[in-house]
Amino acid sequence: MLKTATIFISALLIASMNGCAYFRQYETKDADLVEVSYDATCELKDNLKRTLPKNSLVVVSTLLNVDNLNKTSSFGRIISDQIASAFHNSGYQIIGMEMPIDLFVMQDKGALHLSDDAKAELKPYRPAVIVGGVYAPGKKNAYVSLRIVDLHSKNIISSTDFSVPMGPDAKVLLESKEVGSAGSRSGSAVEGATTPAVEEAAPQVETETPAGPIQ
């Protein structure tokens, strides 16, 4: 009887271990966020409806939670920083900002509405465009929508979407943070800046079209 019970318990342990191994084998894996961000930046540049001259000043705003534009996360910040790096490596000047701007709410004529606070923050730099977007955490994936808005016309000139699996890293990075909380870099360069605010791109032969005033 004891021998039979021992065999039964051993069988249960083996089945339990196999079940754990099965779970680990099919656990969701994280995507390479650097690769995803750089690919998304390439798509944004490929989808441009007008030329964005090299050495133009580009504001990259932290990605926001689609359900609450006053909240972001480490995920929203690192994706926007990686996008900023990709633009900088392509020859653009970069400013990284964290503002509750909804690039998806347009006025009747299809132009972006900027709050007075946003206008005041952007005005000293006179950037050509702003890059930003929103993300939505799901059960199996996190979904991201990006846009480039011309700050002179306030029109969307490029957009793209992508998703990443909800692996263990993504879940941790997606924990909510208040916009402007510790870790924000409003009005700061992302890397290697030559001034406190603007990250300079390498000199380009192509001439730059001056950006219009922020209205």
Residues belonging to the chain: 215
Residue 184 lies in a domain: no
Position 148 scores a pLDDT of 96
Instruction: Answer yes or no: is 52 within a domain.
Output: yes
- Please report, for residues 2, 15, 144, the alpha-carbon distance to residue 134 in angstroms, rounded to integers and kept in the order given: 62, 44, 6
Beta bridge partners of 143: 136, 163
pLDDT of residue 112: 80
Q: Are 64 and 137 in contact (CB under 8 A)?
A: no
Interhelix angle 33-46/74-89, rounded to 10 degrees, is: 50
Number of H helices, E strands in the chain: 5, 8
199 within 8 A of 193, measured Cβ to Cβ: yes
Asked if 95 and 187 touch (Cβ cutoff 8 Å), the reply is yes
Alpha helices in the chain (DSSP H): 2-25, 33-46, 74-89, 116-122, 168-173
Angle in degrees, CA 98, 30, 38, rounded to 5:
50
User: Residue 1 has what pLDDT?
Assistant: 52
CA 29, 34, 39, 41 torsion: positive or negative? positive
User: Does residue 73 fall inside a structural domain?
Assistant: yes
195 DSSP assignment: S
Which amino acid is present at 151?
A: L
Instruction: Map tokens 């692996």 to a residue.
Output: 167
- Helix, coil or strand: residue 132: strand
Does residue 9 belong to any structural domain of this protein?
no
The CATH number covering residue 100 comes to 3.40.50.10610
Task: Please check whether residue 80 is in contact with residue 96, taking contact to mean a CB–CB distance below 8 angstroms.
Answer: yes
* pLDDT value of residue 209: 44
List the chain pLDDT tens, one digit each, 215 residues: 545 555 555 555 555 555 554 445 568 899 999 999 999 999 999 999 999 999 999 999 999 999 998 899 999 999 999 999 999 999 999 999 988 877 777 666 667 878 788 888 888 999 999 999 999 999 999 999 999 999 989 899 999 999 999 999 999 999 999 887 765 555 555 443 333 345 555 444 343 444 555 55
**11 within a domain of the structure (yes/no):** no
Does any domain span residue 98?
Answer: yes
Domain count, the chain: 1
Range of the domain at 129: 28-178
Any domain includes 206: no
Residue 139 lies in a domain: yes
User: Which helix or strand (DSSP H or E) is residue 209 part of?
Assistant: none
